[in-house]
Structure 1
């Protein structure tokens, strides 16, 4: 979290970290405590990333790209599906047979979303948005990730202004729960 660079570099680095976490999940022993720990880390990173995109990237997509409304709506819809899967995964122990099914489905959906962003959205942003704006968005995304929730909240709003108002409070509650339970360490 917080890598530096413009918004595209920041989010692309997040994508590589999530890919690494999926690899760690694949290499962890089935049913192991390590597998649950990695799934929690994946959830934390994915939720922070999604919240930051919804707060800052997608409003910029709406403002700067032709067809940006539809594109942002599609990306937010993708996030909603992933968030529901993360919520389901959170409810299962790594020894539960549904755990592996949920991880496989999650990986499929996240991989498709990442490929779409990196092959479609990011090149369009790079071509259409001034580098200064991309740098500023990178800073905003990094700041948003610091206060973002760490647990999935599928019923929470995903568009401004409500998401910008609620996310820091949800993030505070999530980080307190994580501290008490040891999750994410």
Structure 2
């Protein structure tokens, strides 16, 4: 089987894709329905990304990076905060007075989180883990994203083993809901 990017490169690619969606939102005027479509796509991408990180990245950080438990706990707290904002966004249309405020909050939180991961966590992980392990983690993250939920579930477990057991089933339900509603098809 051909291998893809290592876990760090994979997650950085995700970060750039989310930033591109943020830019698309920022380029549209307030109230434009396209902002909601992009916000739904951002949510789908961020939830899949977060679930994969929680299942594979953060356990590796805890195990291999000195001080990794504190790093992982801080990242999980960031995820929880972003997930609550995404849950609130889910029920807002682009012309809702709360939409712009929630979107600005989400963008700020995610941009800070990305900077933190890319400047602090990823270099420490690369230093602590051999290339083969990072490559294996990349494969696991890619697989996890395929079956991960696409909607925020703020009360779902965020640590193994419960998150690994529940995420595929929740993901299946989310993808069925997305297919029935057309969510994520128009960007």
Give deviations 1:92-111, integer Å, cap 9, x for gaps: 11001110000111111001
Unpaired segments of 5 or more residues in structure 2? Answer: none
How many angstroms does 1:4 deviate by?
A: 3.1
Task: Measure the CA separation in 2 of the matches of 1:105 and 1:77.
Answer: 15
Tell me if 1:68 matches 2:68: yes
TM-score normalised by length of structure 2: 0.96
Which structure 1 residue ranges, 5 or more long, are not aligned?
Answer: none
1:127-157, CA deviations, whole angstroms, 9 ceiling, x for partnerless residues? 1100000000000000000000000000000
Superposition RMSD on alpha carbons, in Å? Answer: 1.0
Question: What is residue 106 of structure 1 aligned with on the other side?
Answer: 106
Question: Structure 2: how far apart are the matches of 1:30 and 1:119?
Answer: 32
Aligned match of 1:147 = 147
Cα deviation for residue 29 of structure 1 reads 2.8
Please give the residue correspondences for 1:7-26 in structure 2 after superposition, counting only pairs within 5 Å.
Answer: 7-26=7-26
Partners of 1:38 and 1:71 lie apart in 2 by 30
SS of 2:70 mapped into structure 1: helix
Q: Distance in 2 between matches of 1:16 and 1:134?
A: 19
Report how far residue 32 of structure 1 moved. Answer: 1.9
Measure how far apart 1:34 and its partner are.
1.0
Following superposition of structure 1 onto structure 2, how do residues 71-150 of structure 1 map, counting pairs within 5 Å?
71-150=71-150
Please give the alpha-carbon distance, in whole angstroms, between the structure 2 residues aligned to 1:77 and 1:6.
24
Structure 2: distance between partners of 1:161 and 1:116: 26
Deviation above 2 Å: which 4+ runs of structure 1? none
CA shift for structure 1 position 14: 0.3
